[in-house]
Structure 1
C-alpha cells in the first residue's frame, strides 16, 4: 500500500470498525477520511475542518456512523461519517486542550486533557456525566477493561489510575505509585491479565492485575527512544496474546514478542519522524496497520506480509534440521511443559503452516492422531534449546533479562 499524503502533520488516526475507511486528524484542525482496497488504491471520501486549532484525537462510534474529534480548541465535535459534516459541537468541553479520547461503551466516551482532567460523556447528553481530577499532568492514553467495566488512564505525571465507570464516586478505585517517568501508552496482553505501559525512557513496564495496580512487576528495556504508542495484533496470528506493536519516537514501528522478550521485526519505518499513533483496521482484526508520524503521510502496512513471511522463513529453517531434531524423540513432556507455561513461546506456533495451527495451540485433544505429533514436537525442542537460558530465568518469577543491545541491530 503506498503512503497516503494528507498535506499536514497527522496527530491521530482511527479506522471504521466494519469498512475499509480510515480517518486522520491533522495539525491544521482538518479531519480527512480515505477509503482503500486490498490492491493499494485509496480515495479521499471527505475533508472537514471543525476547528482552526489542531485535531489531536479521534474516536469512532460502535457502529461507525459517528466520528468524534477534539484537540487544542477544547471542544468535542461530532462528525457524521456518511455525509462528512459536523452535526454537533460541545464547546469548551474542557478548560484546556484535549489530548486523548476513547469510546468505552456504545453510549460512553472518555476524554482526557493537558491538565490531567478526565471526563466521561454520554453522546446523547450535552454535559459530562463524570469528572476526575486526580492526575496533575496530561492524559496520554486510555485502556478499557470490559470484564470489570473499568477505565485505565496513563498520565505524564508518572502514574496510572483505574476508574470504575459504574461508580458515582469522583475518585479512582486505584492509582499506581509514581513510576518516576512519563507514562505514554498502555495495552492489555495475556487475555487482559497483564498490562503493558510504554514510557518516556523506552522501557516497557508490566503490571499484573492479580498483584494490584500499586507498582509494575517487570521492566523490559530495549527501545532506544520513548514508546509513544502500543497496539495489539489480530488474534488470528500465533502468539497474539503476547506479541505487540510498538511505535517509538525514533520513527520505527516494531513487532515485539514478550515472555520471552524478542524483536520479531520492523513493521514500518517513518525515518526521523516520531510515530504519533498506530491502529489495526476492522476493529483490530484486519489486514492493515496504520501508522502516522510527523511526515504528513498516513502509512498502511500489510500485516500479512510482515507475519506470514516470517512464518515461511522460520518454517524453511526448521525443515532443514528435522533429521537432527528427530534424534531427541520420545521426550514429549518438555514440549508439553512449554505449552502450558506460556502462549508466548519462542514463536514456535508461528512456524507451523496455517493448516496445523491447532497442533501448537495447547496440545489438546483436537489433534489426537499420533502421525501429526512428530512434526511440531521437533520444532519445539529445537527452539526450546535455543531459548532455554532466557526461559529458565523468567519461569515462575515474571522476570525477563533483556540485553541492553536488544534493538542494537536496527
Structure 2
C-alpha cells in the first residue's frame, strides 16, 4: 500500500477493531479517518478538528462505534465513527495535556497526562471514576490485561505500575522500582505471562508477573536508540508468543524474537524520522501494520508480504527445521538496505543466556555445540530466515 498523506505530523493511530478503517490524530488538531481495501487502495472518510491544539491520543471502544481523542487541550472528545461528528466534549478533563488514552471495558476508559495523573472514566458520567497520582512524570503507554482486569501503565519517571480497576483504592496494586530509564512502551508475550517494556536507552526490559512487579527479570540491549513503540505479531504466526515488532527512534521497525533473542529482520524504514506509533489492524490479528513517525504520512505495510514463506511448499530437512524453530516465517530481505541494521542476530547461545529460568513453558532440547569457539565469530551455515549483518547489534550499549 502506498504511504497515506495526512497533511501534518501523526501523534497517534488506531484501527477500527473489525472494519478496514484507520484513524490518525495530528499535530494541527485534526482527526482523520481512512478506509482501505485488500489491494492497498484507500480513501479519506472524514476529517474533523475538535481542537486547534494537537491531538495526541486516540482509542476506540470494543465495537468501534465510538472514538475518543485527547491531547494538548486537556479535553476529551467523543466521536461517532459512522458520521465523524463530535457528540460529547469533556473540557478540562485533566490539569495537564493528555498523552495517552485507552478503552478498557464497555463502560470504562482511561487517560494519562504529562504530570503522570491517570484517570478512569465512565462514558455515561461527566466526572472521572477514580484518579491515580502515584506517577510524577508523563504517562507513556497503557496495557490492558483482560483476564485479570488490570491496567499496566509506563511512565517517564522510570516505573511501571499495575492498577486493579475493580478496586476502590486510589493506590496502585503494585509499582516497580525505579528502572533508572524512561519507560516508553509496553506489550505482553508468552500468553500474557511476561511483559516487555521499551526504554529510552534502547533496552527491552522483561517483567514476569509471577515474580512480582518490583524489578525486571531480563534486560535485552541492542537497539541503537529509544524504543518508542511495541506491538505483538498476530497469533496466526507460529512464534507470535515470543516475537514482537519494535519501533525505534532510528526510524526502523524491527522483528525481534525473544527466548532466544534474535533479530529476524526489518519490516519498515522511516528514514531519519523516529517511529513513535505502530499498530496492526483487525484488533491486532490482521494483515496491515500502520506506523507513524514525524513525517506527514502514514506508512501501511503488508505483513503477508514481509513474512511470505517462498519455500513453504518444499520439503524441509531436519537441520533447516531446527535452525528455523520458533521463528514466524521467512523474512523478505530484498527491500532491507545493507546498513539498515546496526548488527545481526544473536547467536543461540547468547540468546539462551537472556532466557529467564522461570519460564513457564517446557524447554526444548538444544543441539550440542562442538568446542568452545566464539559463536559470534564462528562461521556457520546461514538459516534461511537469518540476515547478513554485523553481530554487534545486540552487544551491550
TM-score higher than 0.5: yes
Q: 1:101 touches 1:109 (CA, 8 Å); kept in 2?
A: yes
Matched, 1:389 2:376: no
2-structure distance, mates of 1:191, 1:284: 14
> Unaligned stretches of 5+ in structure 1?
327-334, 339-344, 353-385
Q: TM-score, normalized by length of structure 1?
A: 0.81
Query: Match for residue 312 of structure 1?
Result: 310
> Unaligned stretches of 5+ in structure 2?
331-345, 360-374, 377-389
User: CA offset at residue 183 of structure 1?
Assistant: 0.2
User: CA offset at residue 263 of structure 1?
Assistant: 1.0
User: CA offset at residue 186 of structure 1?
Assistant: 0.4
Secondary structure (helix, strand or coil) at the match of 1:283 reads: helix
User: CA offset at residue 265 of structure 1?
Assistant: 1.0
Secondary structure (helix, strand or coil) at the match of 1:128 reads: coil
Q: 1:238 touches 1:347 (CA, 8 Å); kept in 2?
A: no
Q: Which has the larger radius of gyration?
A: 1
Query: Match for residue 374 of structure 1?
Result: none
Give per-residue Cα distances to partners, 1:110-152, cap 9 Å, x unaligned. Answer: 1000000000001111110010000000000001111211101
Query: Match for residue 215 of structure 1?
Result: 215
Root-mean-square deviation (Å) = 2.5
User: CA offset at residue 84 of structure 1?
Assistant: 0.6
User: CA offset at residue 396 of structure 1?
Assistant: 6.0
Change in CA separation of 1:391 and 1:314 when aligned onto 2, cut-off 3 Å: farther
1-structure distance, mates of 2:231, 2:256: 11
User: CA offset at residue 312 of structure 1?
Assistant: 2.8
When the two structures are aligned, how many residues end up with a matched partner?
352
Query: Match for residue 57 of structure 1?
Result: 57
Change in CA separation of 1:116 and 1:256 when aligned onto 2, cut-off 3 Å: same
2-structure distance, mates of 1:351, 1:86: 43
Query: Match for residue 176 of structure 1?
Result: 176
Change in CA separation of 1:20 and 1:395 when aligned onto 2, cut-off 3 Å: closer
Secondary structure (helix, strand or coil) at the match of 2:161 reads: strand
Matched, 1:285 2:285: yes
Give per-residue Cα distances to partners, 1:368-387, cap 9 Å, x unaligned. Answer: xxxxxxxxxxxxxxxxxx96
Give per-residue Cα distances to partners, 1:267-314, cap 9 Å, x unaligned. Answer: 111110111211000000110000011110001100001112xx3368
User: CA offset at residue 325 of structure 1?
Assistant: 4.8
2-structure distance, mates of 1:106, 1:251: 35
User: CA offset at residue 405 of structure 1?
Assistant: 1.3
Q: 2:246 touches 2:254 (CA, 8 Å); kept in 1?
A: yes
Q: 1:59 touches 1:101 (CA, 8 Å); kept in 2?
A: yes
1-structure distance, mates of 2:66, 2:12: 16
Change in CA separation of 1:26 and 1:393 when aligned onto 2, cut-off 3 Å: closer
Secondary structure (helix, strand or coil) at the match of 1:305 reads: helix
Segments of 4+ moved more than 2 angstroms: 311-316, 345-352, 386-399, 401-404
Give per-residue Cα distances to partners, 1:49-74, cap 9 Å, x unaligned. Answer: 00000000000011111110000000
Map of 1:203-242 to 2, 5 A cutoff?
A: 203-242=203-242
Map of 1:112-127 to 2, 5 A cutoff?
A: 112-127=112-127
Change in CA separation of 1:281 and 1:305 when aligned onto 2, cut-off 3 Å: same
